[in-house]
Structure 1
């Protein structure tokens, strides 16, 4: 007997709710496919002619699955269509994605449609989730055409059941057969440690990396030992927090891990030079905001600042920066203090969906200096080098509205508004200037 999906008063039963979840999931897959097909229709319509798509592809092996030429964007592998760089910016902005994420997405769709046709056919008939197909495309973008065809033939028939490890092994086989020059000459070439300093959250950042096996074992031993020392010293923090603090101690060169000298119940004595912590307190019109560094504003509590102070040799208090100042300069070059003010006000590049920290950006005159535009806070905005070039040399234009919102117009006429005021966090209630 079929399970009832509705009760007598038309309320969904638990079985009905599960059925509704399945319907929504199926709808999401269809919508994702429709979006992908629309993007590919744009690629087909705007693909550059062969004679214009001659920007040389870099021979340097890179980790990202997207590549930019000077005027052409090579978003997928050899043999795939190429689009204009400045037009690709407009599509990624329309998708609501950052430049890097948007280019990866568009490039993976191009890779699937033109270099992995068997896998793409399974996406179109909804027998293979798009996210899994994109994972395969991400791995094949650097392969030559015959290498991509090999992966397509090997994985298409069972791609929906293939594990990530099997995908990686198949791509590795393709590299060995068709592109041995892409194989790393030395395992050390793959080692890396990445810190999410451009994306702080509540005074903490993410850490990720790839370590040598021996180094990883040594680090694990050090973290375990340091966590044990902190526990023996009376710390009641959870294990993860003690391991994180131990890593910070190691970075500062502290000998908090000298277990031979640390008796149970005692505390280890840190040695070595400690790194100063500088906390800037910036007063706006009505609220106080705390920043760890320009371009990465984050609200922190008094307790967190106090913990930083306990791990530092000294605390430096900087002069308060008046974010409401309208003072400018007669020169074209932006003075240091004015540059700091603009970067505090605008934490990232003001191009749509761009998240490059303003400390890494150029400061652009909205109204060109040569046309009488002043070097003043209201006429300056941070633009990363790519988007600065797009604004200067292509059809991208922008202006600042009366409410402080930036209005961009793309080369194909799409309008985007960027309100970066929401990026400046409100401070913790117990934080005062």
Structure 2
């Protein structure tokens, strides 16, 4: 490497260092600003969190802006709707913003030494948040113990080291709870089936695999029984000539066990008295046009996939509660439909450009399916919740004495329950609420989108491609 090249390389790596340091300072400043925003929306009022957990709603939580307990004991409660402004400003979901605000509250009020080092840029924000997430269950004194012992090494403490210190604080300052948890250790058992998204074999190429992940923690005896059953059925599958890969046969065995009846799998039963299998149910919301249904274009020749240029439609999309969301291959759908143990419901939605309107407040199923097909997600800025579980909101308020046809595919939009409340009820501090309207192409606004205005007057445009900040309203024009 000659001198000139060395000088250039040095300048480049210096630029990396400078920009990394600047990014850390900016991230710390933004985190402190989030804490300041939360502090402006706190209350000394001691209340319970009306939202028992994300996605589980108490009926009393439908009454408007509520105070939430986001930090541990000793931290103030924070107005729920103020989190919406943070979510929109950062371009993230409400749940992510809620976690961010909760971490800021925990550090600011219960871990002040760690918070000071984060604010000074001496400890990365992610490290400070990692500590805050472990201390919420501690008493106020326990959190102070962790703060005193971890602050000076917070920039290099590992996760296990933090966990051990938190466990020690719990044992020191809340021994009764610690002992009770020790005796209830078997309550940590769980089994999770990730039905959020269909998996991909290769994220870079997008190759579909049509699978989901299963993980959990079982009682040892239960785990041994399950292992014996899986090994037994996987061996039977191999003897029947199934895939030679043992891992694949084991995953298939679990499905066979799930469909067994009276403790007998479908692979081992008396021919005279076969058991009844639990039927698998698949609901497909398939977006089709006439060419996809008939296999022809204008009734003349084979239909062409506009994306691939190939004949035919090779993919279907699953989009219904309780099932993975995403695309699956036609071959996989055919394997489901060809099984006598599968009940398949296909709901075609034809020509989404056609609009439907009905009289009355509640939309019929065809209208609801149409709206949710047009908007796969809640239309609130940056929200990622599926429209299949969302409320359908009348953008223009429904008037019982108004004209017919107010319930239409033009006036209905999916809003998850939280954001529906934020649109309906005002924020505590400002007395204002979130509002939105469809875009108007005559005002040089993109078609098929909505524009939201926050209580602070900030605007965001939401379309099927996502959310982006939008300029201030120029007024009538």
User: Which SS does the other structure have where 1:300 is aligned?
Assistant: strand
CA-to-aligned-CA distance 1:7-59 (integer Å, 9 cap, x gap)? 6357855x877666555543442332122122223234x23353xxx251249
Task: Work out the CA distance in 1 between the residues paired with 2:415 and 2:344.
Answer: 30
User: Which SS does the other structure have where 1:369 is aligned?
Assistant: coil
Task: Work out the CA distance in 2 between the residues paired with 1:126 and 1:217.
Answer: 49
> Pick from 32, 38, 43: which aligns with 2:38?
43
> Pick from 338, 347, 353: which aligns with 2:376?
347
8 Å CA contact 1:349–1:361 kept in 2: the answer is yes
Written as runs of structure 1 = structure 2, the 5 A alignment for 1:411-430 is 411-420=455-464
| Counterpart for residue 4 of structure 2 | 8
Residue 86 (structure 1) shift: 1.5
> Pick from 53, 57, 62: which aligns with 2:48?
57
> Pick from 64, 71, 76: which aligns with 1:76?
71
| Counterpart for residue 361 of structure 1 | 390
8 Å CA contact 2:380–2:415 kept in 1: the answer is yes
Task: Work out the CA distance in 2 between the residues paired with 1:39 and 1:271.
Answer: 57
| Counterpart for residue 212 of structure 2 | 205
8 Å CA contact 1:281–1:290 kept in 2: the answer is yes
Residue 224 (structure 1) shift: 4.8
Written as runs of structure 1 = structure 2, the 5 A alignment for 1:2-151 is 8-9=4-5, 13=9, 22-44=17-39, 46-50=40-44, 54=45, 56-58=47-49, 70-151=65-146
Q: CA RMSD in A?
A: 3.8
- 2:257 matches 1:277: no
Task: Work out the CA distance in 1 between the residues paired with 2:14 and 2:224.
Answer: 47
User: Which SS does the other structure have where 2:154 is aligned?
Assistant: helix
> Pick from 422, 425, 447: which aligns with 1:390?
422
- TM-score, normalised to structure 2, is 0.72
User: Which SS does the other structure have where 1:120 is aligned?
Assistant: helix
Residue 235 (structure 1) shift: 4.5
Counterparts in 2 of 1:165 and 1:319: CA distance versus 1, 3 Å:
closer
> Pick from 341, 366, 375: which aligns with 2:407?
375
User: Which SS does the other structure have where 2:145 is aligned?
Assistant: helix
8 Å CA contact 1:230–1:242 kept in 2: the answer is yes
User: Which SS does the other structure have where 2:380 is aligned?
Assistant: coil
Task: Work out the CA distance in 1 between the residues paired with 2:142 and 2:102.
Answer: 17
User: Which SS does the other structure have where 1:363 is aligned?
Assistant: strand
- 2:438 matches 1:400: yes
8 Å CA contact 2:198–2:327 kept in 1: the answer is no
8 Å CA contact 1:278–1:317 kept in 2: the answer is yes
Residue 357 (structure 1) shift: 2.1
Task: Work out the CA distance in 2 between the residues paired with 1:385 and 1:342.
Answer: 16
| Counterpart for residue 169 of structure 1 | 164
> Pick from 329, 333, 336: which aligns with 1:301?
329
Task: Work out the CA distance in 2 between the residues paired with 1:28 and 1:247.
Answer: 47
> Pick from 330, 340, 353: which aligns with 2:359?
330
Counterparts in 2 of 1:319 and 1:355: CA distance versus 1, 3 Å:
closer
Task: Work out the CA distance in 2 between the residues paired with 1:193 and 1:157.
Answer: 38
User: Which SS does the other structure have where 2:381 is aligned?
Assistant: coil
Task: Work out the CA distance in 2 between the residues paired with 1:130 and 1:285.
Answer: 53
Task: Work out the CA distance in 2 between the residues paired with 1:146 and 1:348.
Answer: 43
Counterparts in 2 of 1:247 and 1:353: CA distance versus 1, 3 Å:
farther
Q: Which has the higher strand share?
A: 2
Residue 324 (structure 1) shift: 3.5
Task: Work out the CA distance in 2 between the residues paired with 1:243 and 1:175.
Answer: 41
Task: Work out the CA distance in 2 between the residues paired with 1:189 and 1:256.
Answer: 29
8 Å CA contact 1:48–1:82 kept in 2: the answer is yes
Task: Work out the CA distance in 1 between the residues paired with 2:54 and 2:168.
Answer: 18
Point out where structure 2 has 5 or more consecutive residues left out of the alignment.
200-207, 292-305, 307-312, 427-432, 441-446, 468-477
> Pick from 313, 318, 342: which aligns with 2:346?
318
Counterparts in 2 of 1:349 and 1:23: CA distance versus 1, 3 Å:
same
